[in-house]
Structure 1
Amino acid sequence: MTSVGKAPAVIFALLLLAAGALAGCAPEPSSPTPTPAAEQTPATPDLSATAGPTPTQAPTKAPETPSAFTTTELVQICIDATASAYDDVEFDAAGARVEKRTVTPEWLVLVPAQTNGYDAESVCTIGGSPTDPDIELSSASIQPLPEEQIQNLIRGENEGGTD
């Protein structure tokens, strides 16, 4: 073959090579083109691809606690801390009230009780962890706390002492 005959063959080979390279980028004729309904991002975002939490993320558990107390554990801790202050006491664990505080310890626990014919109430502030609870306040009273005082305890105000 002469150099004149080689030129078209080389050009043809280069065109085939270029066409083959571009064919990998083009969609296959037999595959359907994606429609917006079929290829949209899922309704729930994939959070593994994001760098941090987004403002629209909702917490996965409530209440969110670093120490992972359950309500039952908090109530039992308060009962155990105050039972010896009563004579002949019956606690109403099912009627207990647990509030997240804005200060530490994180939890306010109020457990209704009956003792010697009186309506009583145990009050505790609890932090720490279930294996090592930190009980800052434990009180046994024959008078339930008024709501105003409960709100003060939630905010960490007037917890006793000289305040």
Structure 2
Amino acid sequence: MRVRPALVLLPVLILLAGCAPEPASSPSPSASRTSSPTPTPTPSAIETTEPPATGTEFTTTALVDLCTERTRALAPDATYFGDMATTEWLASSSLWFVVIPKSLNGADSVAVCGIGGSQEAPVFALEGESLPDGVADIRAELLSGAPGGES
């Protein structure tokens, strides 16, 4: 009688053995030569920090100087920290987004600019100042094409 339960379990065991995963095989050298390489993901337009090579050449120093000069009238006595400035190429807006930390009477803020054109003929889409936590909103406005709430 003990043989019967074993006979009933035998087809179940065979069925389960067929469901076991096969061990992963390493690709052969010939297979890797014939398969196409996996493309490397490219950054999206808003992640790009380098501009295209035509007509948008600026040095970081020039961008920081332009933004400092343009926003100095808002706070003439402020101390600008150009060595801590950030610049980012916003390809979808064709603008450089420049953020320069500054301090006035112990209060921290930032100068922000959206600069297009070329180093020889810069075009300002935006210049102003903000608290540091407002930088992301200003960047989003530039990306959407609506600096300062304009369309």
Structure 1's 104 and 162: CA in aligned 2 closer, same or farther, altered over 3 A? Answer: closer
Tell whether the 8 Å contact from 1:86 to 1:140 is kept in structure 2 after alignment.
Answer: no
Which contiguous aligned blocks of 4+ residues in structure 1 show a shift greater than 3 angstroms? Answer: 102-105, 145-148
**1:144 aligns to 2:132 (yes or no):** yes
Residue in 2 that maps onto 1:59? none
Cα deviation for residue 154 of structure 1 reads: 5.0
1:80-119 equivalences under 5 Å are 80-119=69-108
Number of residue equivalences = 103
Residue in 1 that maps onto 2:50? 63
Structure 1's 77 and 87: CA in aligned 2 closer, same or farther, altered over 3 A? Answer: closer
Structure 1's 145 and 105: CA in aligned 2 closer, same or farther, altered over 3 A? Answer: farther
**1:156 aligns to 2:147 (yes or no):** no
Distance 1:97 1:74 in 2: 10
Structure 1's 131 and 103: CA in aligned 2 closer, same or farther, altered over 3 A? Answer: same
Tell whether the 8 Å contact from 1:100 to 1:154 is kept in structure 2 after alignment.
Answer: no
Of Structure 1 and Structure 2, the greater helix share is in: 2
- Higher relative contact order, chain-length normalized (CA < 8 Å, sep 6+): 2
Q: What letter corresponds to residue 122 of structure 2 in structure 1?
A: P
Tell whether the 8 Å contact from 2:64 to 2:98 is kept in structure 1 after alignment.
Answer: yes
**1:73 aligns to 2:62 (yes or no):** yes
Cα deviation for residue 93 of structure 1 reads: 0.5
Name stretches of at least 5 consecutive residues in structure 1 with no aligned partner: 1-54, 57-61
Q: What letter corresponds to residue 71 of structure 1 in structure 2?
A: T
Greater Rg, structure 1 or structure 2? 1
TM-score normalised by length of structure 2: 0.58
Q: What letter corresponds to residue 134 of structure 2 in structure 1?
A: P
Percent of aligned pairs with the same residue? 31
Distance 2:93 2:114 in 1: 8
Q: What letter corresponds to residue 63 of structure 1 in structure 2?
A: E
TM-score normalised by length of structure 1: 0.54
Name the Cα RMSD after superposition: 2.5
